[in-house]
Amino acid sequence: MADDSVAVHREIKQKQKLDQRPSSMKAQYKLLSELPVRLSKLTDQTSTGSLQIMSRPTFAKISSSGAYIARTSATFPSVVYVLDVKNLALVAVLIHSNAVSWISWDHLSDSLAICTGSKHLHLWSPSSCTILDVPFKGSFPVKSCQWNPQKSCLVIHSEEMAVLCTPV
């Protein structure tokens, strides 16, 4: 990718300071400034068998405003591509540490929630991109999510539980 108008964000994980929860990891997006970007060097490509690639989930979802399409691919399962529909252009590439298990657009805004099976919820909007810790004791791998159609809140799901998230 050589287009410098595309924002390429990569998930970076760091150990927390000693005064915080032991052995917890803080995750955040880092804007990559060196272009062009080679996805094959930034993503985990350990399982590249054709059967494994074909069995991975892929998504293509349109935002409620119709302005954006978010998509994943079986070739790079940890990457989300965000495309501007009006300009037919790629506007963001989000590279995650884990394979993407679910993406969901907010019904009221152009906010995209991304689930990767980690304890973090990833959010993208045209103006920002952030990673949130799920405030839950114990293990809560975020597998999927669903926005409330009438309010800006969402339910995040692990394999066995669900949590309602609301803005603070």
At which residue do the structure tokens 């152009």 appear? 110
Q: How many CB atoms lie within 10 A of CB 115?
A: 23
pLDDT tens digits, residue range 104-147? 999 999 999 999 999 999 999 999 999 998 877 888 899 999 99
At which residue do the structure tokens 């930034």 appear? 42
- 6: pLDDT strictly greater than 70: yes
What pTM did the predictor assign? 0.79
Flag whether 1 is in a domain: no
Q: Cα angle vertex 34, ends 3, 27, to 5°?
A: 105
The pLDDT, as a whole number, for residue 59 is 85
Flag whether 2 is in a domain: no
What is the total count of domains within the chain?
1
Indicate which CATH number applies to the domain containing 126: 2.130.10.10
Q: How many CB atoms lie within 10 A of CB 157?
A: 18
Give the structural domain span for 150.
7-165
